[in-house]
Amino acid sequence: MTAYDAIIIGTGQAGPALARRIAGLGMQVAIIERGRFGGTCINTGCTPTKTMVASAYAAHVARRGADYGFSAGDVKVDMKRVKARKDHVVGLSNRGVEQSLKNLENCRVCEGHARFVSPREVQAGDQVLTSERIFINVGARAAVPDIPGLDQVDYLTSSSMMDIDFLPRHLLVLGGSYIGLEFGQMYRRFGSEVSIVELGPRLILREDEDVSAAVTDILTREGTTVLRSAKCLRINKQGDDIVMTVDCDGTSELRGSHLLVATGRRPNTDDLGLDRAGVERDERGYIVVDDELRTSVPGIWALRDCNGKGAFTHTSWNDYEIVAANLFDGESRRVTDRIAAYALYIDPPLGRVGMTEADVRKIGRPALIGKLAMEDVSRAFEKGETEGFMKILVDADTKQILGASFLGTSGDEAIHCVLDVMYAKAPYTLLKRAMHIHPTVAEFIPTMLDDLVPLPGSVAG
């Protein structure tokens, strides 16, 4: 048995940063990885999808050449080259993480599946490692629903989508949330027929209704079929086709060549020996943690997707910062200090911070809203990308910003102006005084704030 100052299980977004920090302090750390270094973000998540979204965007703009004054002829996408580009970008990051860990002084890298043997011992392959501090960063994987016939067809998940180098004739996407929409639009732009089947009454149900409606319009205008309130009853194979029987205003059949299952994620906590360590999980399998990411067992922490407190790369990095600051810098940072922020990378992207309109109505405070169509933003107009809108919600009493949704070109970037003011806990009027650069999307944020009105349905509305 080998003793370490710290053991880290998983090389997702938090694990490697923590290993570097601990090793840099002169302590001995062991980090265990059973799959590809860098975890989901680098190998099957953010990096490959955004690289492929860029290819899809380029094809889309080329097809719109006439709008910009050029002709690109008949645009055909070569999926082998799209995949090769994606593999190149992924490979750079994946090898970067692997090499940086393997070259790190005071760090031992173990390759294999890790399981707890006791609260202080972890088995990796044929070795048992021991430490007083163990950090779990094992991530999550695609959740596959229990639908009759699904196990009889070769369905795809967000991970196996990364291996295909051909164009599906007709991609059926089960699940109209963030991952399903990114793949759906991307493959439509590559040239597939795409049908998205969503159980809920609208796409991206967590967002406000106007956001869902605008996103649905964007996708359908490009030729994607969107079925809402559609329950997939059964799946079966007929010849080369996959046939989905759907209950949507009556029963109908949807026929495609390939099926992507994008119905959520589940944590990789089921084969980790957590019972032997005494680490508590909730009913969905997420490791229960407190506001500082400590599990039910002293000396064991759980970071990111396996703890259910956010499922993003930036929240993983933030988890690392919280744990490292509290352990090594004498700080008292908490998960609840952070403000929800994320993006949906369809084109145009949706940038989101803080509360939605629905959230604001629930807190029962007087609130104001400002909204601006992207058609009225000169930068969007100049780029020929006028779909979407920006909206911002403000507490009428404190003048602090409660949340914002920017669906439009550069919405994922411009929203950071709002996020930073929220972190500063400054009133929205600060943004009205800031001089922004022309022509940008961000320059219209002060304009939007000039025209705030009471939010209908809030206490003042």
Ligand X SMILES: Cc1cc2nc3c(=O)[nH]c(=O)nc-3n(C[C@H](O)[C@H](O)[C@H](O)COP(=O)(O)OP(=O)(O)OC[C@H]3O[C@@H](n4cnc5c(N)ncnc54)[C@H](O)[C@@H]3O)c2cc1C
In the complex, which residues of this chain contact ligand X (CB under 6 A)? 9-14, 32-35, 39-41, 44-46, 49-50, 113-114, 137-140, 158, 179, 268, 272, 304-306, 311-314, 316, 345
- Residue 290 Cβ vs ligand X, minimum distance, rounded to whole Å: 18
- Residue 48 Cβ vs ligand X, minimum distance, rounded to whole Å: 8
Q: What angle do CA 263, 269, 273 make, to 5 degrees?
A: 155
- Which residues touch 6 (CB under 8 Å, ≥6 apart)? 18, 19, 22, 27, 28, 29, 30, 131, 133, 134, 135
- Residue 181 Cβ vs ligand X, minimum distance, rounded to whole Å: 11
> In terms of CB distance, is 68 or 423 closer to ligand X?
423
> In terms of CB distance, is 141 or 234 closer to ligand X?
141
Asked if 194 and 171 touch (Cβ cutoff 8 Å), the reply is yes
Q: Is the dihedral of CA 419, 424, 428, 430 positive or negative?
A: negative
Specify the residue for token string 């933003």. Answer: 377
> Helices marked H in 296-402 — which ranges?
313-328, 357-363, 378-383
Beta-sheet pairing, 367-373 with 453-454: antiparallel
93-129 CB burial, b ≥16 within 10 A, e <16: bbeebbeebeebebbbbbeeebbbeebbbbbbeeeeb
Distance from C-alpha of 344 to C-alpha of 349, rounded to nearest angstrom: 6
- Residue 432 Cβ vs ligand X, minimum distance, rounded to whole Å: 30
Distance from C-alpha of 188 to C-alpha of 334, rounded to nearest angstrom: 41
- Residue 40 Cβ vs ligand X, minimum distance, rounded to whole Å: 3
> In terms of CB distance, is 55 or 458 closer to ligand X?
55
> In terms of CB distance, is 129 or 431 closer to ligand X?
129
Backbone phi, psi, residue 453, to 5°: -130, 160
- Residue 272 Cβ vs ligand X, minimum distance, rounded to whole Å: 5
What's the distance, CA 139 to chain centroid? Answer: 13
> In terms of CB distance, is 246 or 274 closer to ligand X?
274
> In terms of CB distance, is 394 or 404 closer to ligand X?
404
> In terms of CB distance, is 113 or 399 closer to ligand X?
113
Backbone phi, psi, residue 210, to 5°: -65, -30
For the chain, what is the largest distance between any 2 Cα atoms, rounded to a whole number of angstroms? 69
Catalytic residue (one of 60, 170, 314, 438): 438
- Residue 106 Cβ vs ligand X, minimum distance, rounded to whole Å: 20
Specify the residue for token string 């938090």. Answer: 14
How many residues are present in the chain?
Answer: 461
> In terms of CB distance, is 272 or 372 closer to ligand X?
272
- Residue 439 Cβ vs ligand X, minimum distance, rounded to whole Å: 27
Distance from C-alpha of 259 to C-alpha of 158, rounded to nearest angstrom: 11
- Nearest-10 crossing angle of helices 79-102, 15-24: 20
- Residue 317 Cβ vs ligand X, minimum distance, rounded to whole Å: 8
Q: Is 187 exposed, middle or buried (0-12, 13-18, 19+ CB in 10 A)?
A: buried
Distance from C-alpha of 369 to C-alpha of 395, rounded to nearest angstrom: 9
User: Amino acid letter at 161?
Assistant: M
Element spanning 310, H or E: none
Closest residue to ligand X, based on beta-carbon distance? 139
Indicate if 416 belongs to the active site: no
Distance from C-alpha of 23 to C-alpha of 51, rounded to nearest angstrom: 32
> In terms of CB distance, is 411 or 446 closer to ligand X?
411
Instruction: Centre a 10 Å sphere on the Cβ of residue 274 and count the other Cβ atoms it contains.
Output: 23
Helix (H, G, I), strand (E, B) or coil at 357: helix
Asked if 445 and 390 touch (Cβ cutoff 8 Å), the reply is yes
Catalytic residue IDs: 438
